Structure 1
Amino acid sequence: MDGEGCRLNGEGRVGGRDGGVEAGSQSHHSGLITLEDLESFTGDLDSDFSGSPAGDNGEVMDFEEPDQMLNYWQEIGRGHRVNIPQDMAEPIQQLTMEMDTSQERERVPFTVLKCLDKVQVDKRRYEKTVWACITMREETYEQSICTGFMKIMRFICQQNSAGTYLGMTIPIVTVVQTDTSRSALAPEVTVAYCIPEQYQDQPPMPFDPDITIETWPSAVVYTREFSGSTNEASILEQIQILVAALDSADLNLSLGISFIVAGYTSLAATHRHNEIWFVDRGEA
């Protein structure tokens, strides 16, 4: 994998190709959606990854034009001081149409090496895969991952050299780093999307220069499931729980400050399926 890339272990570059996100850059104008905003109107949303809006009786609402769905999201967003930019109309429509089908989302493949049932941790091996990733530095963790994911959505939905909808894969992961006491998150957050299997050998290139295509090497990963929202406080709590579990299992791991949050459901879903990962860099 490129030494300047996002890296599965979280030690990648800050920002895009220019090495950072400047104050007042495009990312600050592309719409900030915090997870608190999204969680506050989950009753208006369906529970798949696209966050498809649902009507009063629970059925998915039908929007034939991209602007109709955008207006729906903007109307909700205004009530929560959230800006949904105009250029998100087509990506929102595309992702929702594709994900309202009965097709199962493509999952990042892995092999379970061991189940540590007593501490509710799985040991897995992930093979070498190609990812699209972007590192953001917004005011909060939630703003960083939401702004980064909107950029990834644009890449998935035709803003790529293939000129086609690439398809959704899960999980969407965010690579985070803590301070040495694991009591605070660093401001840089990397959002990453695994390129679908059919494009792994020749991945489409993003139009957005802030998005990079990286090959992540095979890795052994310790994972633990959790539910609920993913904000800075909950992520730090889950990191502490995972670290304590791994310490109690006497695995002799060299635990650092880099962790990964894996999300399998919409940021706006009522019932969230998440995982916290630790990558064992000492075991290939």
Structure 2
Amino acid sequence: MDRGGCRMNGGGGGESSEINGSGIGSQPGMITLEDLESFSEDQLSDSGNGSLEEGETMEDDEDQERLLHYWQDVARGHRVEVPGDMAEPIQQITSNNNGAHTRERVPFTLISRKEKLGDVHYEKRHYEKANWACVTVSEETYEQSICYGFMRIMRYICQQNSAGTYLGMTLPIVTVVHTDETRRNLMQAVTVAYYLPDQYQAQPPQPYDDGIVIEEWPAAIIYSRAFTGATNEVTIISEIHALAELLDAPGECVGDTFIIAGYTNPAHANRQNEIWFLERP
């Protein structure tokens, strides 16, 4: 796995991974960034494998192992291995998803909005400089990269940090991707980034994983277009081209670096995502 930072200012990626019609990430049951974060006990009960009986909780070792084995079974079919040391982070994220913690949103100021016939084509936003925990990975597929990257971020959120505490989830979880000059192929290197909650912005807890970097991203102007459904290589390339066609001056944006922001569980019928373009400094 590659290690490195993830500033929101463009830059290169890894080796090219050609996009084809296979739609790797569109396969049902694929673990993606938000799966491990937002999977609830109710969804686990509906899954069949590893279901909870009425009155049971996920607080004992048996339930922790059952939840881990469920994710291992799902992931294995898509060439993603969930290691045993993910049992506790998965349980913590799942338990805290059920109302124990409020999910903080990344703050921004809306500059303008382009609409036509009541439909929002895109928004222009200003994001202040902020600290993000970032990890860059380079696996064989995009889905593998974001899965392995987010599992490392999960460990950091769930006590594997210098504060020794659960830090809390923020939204969106973002992935930084790079394309070739034609914008038809994604590069292999993918950066997974987690916005530090406000209470940790001044003094971010340091990760135990030396591949996770705490970076202060500079203030940036973002052009954001919402879309629903799965995120995979095919849909990302499609959304990049869709937003580029809508912008009045696409040349003012970074041409090879883009951000995918995820807000909801991908199991949801109307999964909420955004594609972000970065205005050149």
TM-score of the superposed pair, with normalisation by structure 2: 0.81
Report the CA distance shift for 1:132/1:13 in structure 2 as closer, same or farther (over 3 A): farther
Give the gaps of 5 or more residues in structure 1: 15-19, 21-33
Distance of aligned partners of 1:92 and 1:270 in 2 relative to their CA distance in 1, 3 Å threshold: farther
What is the aligned-residue RMSD (CA, Å)? Answer: 2.8
Letter of the aligned partner of 1:181 in structure 2? T
> In structure 2, what is the equivalent of residue 150 of structure 1?
151
Question: Quick one: which of 32, 38, 56 aligns to 1:50?
Answer: 38
CA, structure 1 residues 8+251, in 2 after alignment: closer, same or farther (shift >3 Å)?
A: closer
Question: How many residue pairs were aligned?
Answer: 254
1:181 matched residue in structure 2: 182
Measured after TM superposition, the shift of residue 191 of structure 1 is 0.6
Structure 2, unpaired ranges of 5+: 16-23
Amino acid at match of 1:63: M
Q: Tell me the CA shift for residue 256 of structure 1.
A: 1.1
Tell me the TM-score normalised to structure 1 length. 0.80
Distance 1:94 1:280 in 2: 37
| Counterparts of 1:57 and 1:210, CA distance in 2 | 33
Equivalent residue runs for 1:216-227 within 5 Å:
216-227=217-228
Q: Report the alpha carbon displacement of residue 96 of structure 1 after superposing the two structures with TM.
A: 0.7
Comparing 73-82 with 237-246, greater Cα deviation is found at 73-82
With over 3 angstroms needed to count, the CA separation of the structure-2 counterparts of 1:205 and 1:7, relative to structure 1, is same
Residue 272 (structure 1) shift: 1.4
Q: CA deviation at 1:281?
A: 2.0
Partner secondary structure for residue 144 of structure 2: helix
CA deviation digits over 1:48-71, x for unaligned, max 9? Answer: 94222332499x944233223212
Alignment check: 8 A CA contact 1:47 1:271 kept: no
Change over 3 Å in CA distance of 1:146–1:200 after alignment to 2:
same
Distance 1:260 1:77, change over 3 A: closer
Q: Separation in 2 of the partners of 1:148 and 1:280?
A: 26
In structure 2, relative to structure 1, the CA distance for the partners of 1:102 and 1:265 (3 Å cut) is same
Report the CA distance shift for 1:278/1:264 in structure 2 as closer, same or farther (over 3 A). same
More strand by share: 2
Match of 1:113 in 2: 111
- Do the aligned partners of residues 79 and 243 (structure 1) sit closer, same or farther apart at CA in structure 2, a change above 3 Å counting? closer
Provide the rounded CA distance (Å) in 1 between the counterparts of 2:269 and 2:35. Answer: 6
Map Cα deviations across residues 212-240 of structure 1 (whole Å, 9 max, x no partner): 00001111100000011111111000000
Partners in 2 of 1:164 and 1:103 — Cα distance?
13
CA distance in 2, matches of 1:221, 1:94: 32
C-alpha separation in 1, matches of 2:254 and 2:30: 37
SS at match of 1:54: helix
SS at match of 2:252: coil
2:6 is the alignment partner of 1:6: yes
User: Runs ≥4 in structure 1, deviation > 6 angstroms?
Assistant: none
Please say if residues 49 and 264 of structure 1, whose CA atoms lie closer than 8 Å, have aligned partners that are also in contact: no
Q: Is the Cα contact below 8 Å between 1:178 and 1:185 reproduced in 2?
A: yes
How far residue 175 of structure 1 moved from its aligned partner, in angstroms, is 0.7
Name the structure 1 match of 2:137: 136
